[in-house]
Chain A
Amino acid sequence: MRIENPDSISKSPDGRPIADQPIWREQFPIDWPTDDFRSRRDFTKLLGLTSLAFVVGQIWIAFLAIRRRAAGPLPALQVASREEIPVGGSKVFDYPRAGATCVLTRIAADRFVAYGQKCTHLSCPVIPKPAENCLQCPCHDGVFDLATGHPLSGPPRRPLPRLQLEVRDEGVFAVGVEEGIL
């Protein structure tokens, strides 16, 4: 007898309806149509497609890197004039494109540092703390060294992307990115 409704072919030994049955009867049904079989072939297909997606992703990353290299060096951008920022002061700007927020800090009379502002943990903006000689991320209390950008404590494991700076007569210029992708 072919019965289309799976509930009606599942007759439990005590004869009560499916709603009164323990949950494992639903999770491990005897009836083939209600069982969620995962065959070895399905699993292999899933593995194959996932690795294919990874391969495509790697090719895409390589393509982006080649395109960036072909575009040549990043343009210089004047961030601030030399006297605009006091020692211990900082300024937020966008480099190399709008939306890629960076923060410039004057840590000494003749020393400037600039980093991408996205925390390498979960992309919260980091806040320079020149008094403690660090950059702090308020989200999970990640701390980066203000002089190098390397993580000191908290969840981040990768350094902040560091900007190459040039101090010219007319001001402080960002001329490139040292590591990471902004």
Chain B
Amino acid sequence: MAVPESNEFFVDPGRCIGCNACVQACSECDTHKGYSMIQLDILDRSSSPQTIPVICMHCDSPTCAEVCPADAIKRTADGVVQSARKPRCIACNNCVLACPFGVPKMNTGMHLMMKCDMCYDRTSVGKKPMCASVCPSQALFYGTREQIEKLRPSSRPVHEFRFGMQEITTKVHLMVPRRSPLVALDVGAALRLAPAGDISGGEDPLLSGMAEGTFS
């Protein structure tokens, strides 16, 4: 079984209300062995209630797999990067340190890296991933492109990211304002925009950058 081509994952951080439902639901997925593989990032608690759910973006050139010395991280033909294979994983933490999105999680007790695998047992049979099925604001949306265009007329998906010199194209899409001219989300540049040492400063650089379209 493979994940159907028509269904895609869209993350819309602007809609996230930080309810943690996805975090709870994630641990219910059978492929996650009872552990939650999603992380709810709180951007800057003092200035904003903004939260971002972090799921695996399923890169075309997965950095986690590139750095794996044991050849344990594999991507299936439908483009889903799977958790490390248990017989191969040596729990070296390379993937955890290398992933630009910070997705892989090391389970030291099990000596195994586990990560968001888009709930492969569910999506491969046509169901939604756990997080997308419970998200009340549909910040995590799993469906066809026609559906997302109809539901979010003022947003559009991007799936290109830049981390310094590294360019990444992903299977999962991030929703950005439709009027924003950005093609690729330059995360490295966004981090540089933040004043050094000033973490309390007003706007969140990533979100304001998106709104102003400072990224190309």
A binds B: yes
**A residues engaging B (CB < 8 A)?**
1-4, 6, 9, 11-13, 28, 30-33, 35, 40
Contact of B166 among A1, A4, A11, A13 (CB under 8 A): A13
Name the CB-closest residue of A to B81. Answer: A30
A142 smallest CB distance to B (angstroms): 47
B65 smallest CB distance to A (angstroms): 4
For the complex of A and B, list the 10 residue pairs with the smallest distance between their C-beta atoms, beginning with the closest.
Answer: A30-B65, A11-B60, A32-B74, A11-B61, A28-B71, A2-B78, A32-B76, A2-B5, A33-B77, A13-B61
Main secondary structure of the interface of B (DSSP, over half): loop
User: Cβ of B169: which chain A residues have Cβ within 8 Å of it?
Assistant: 11
Name the CB-closest residue of B to A33. Answer: B77
Given contacts A12-B61, A13-B61, A40-B87, contact A1 B75 (CB under 8 A): no
Given contacts A2-B2, A2-B3, A13-B61, contact A35 B74 (CB under 8 A): yes
Pairs across A and B, CB under 8 Å, 10 listed: A1-B8, A1-B79, A2-B79, A3-B77, A9-B60, A9-B75, A31-B75, A33-B76, A35-B74, A40-B87
Q: Which of B63-92 contact A (CB under 8 A)?
A: 63, 65-66, 71, 73-79, 82, 87
Say whether A32 contacts B75, CB under 8 Å: yes
User: Cβ of A35: which chain B residues have Cβ within 8 Å of it?
Assistant: 71, 74
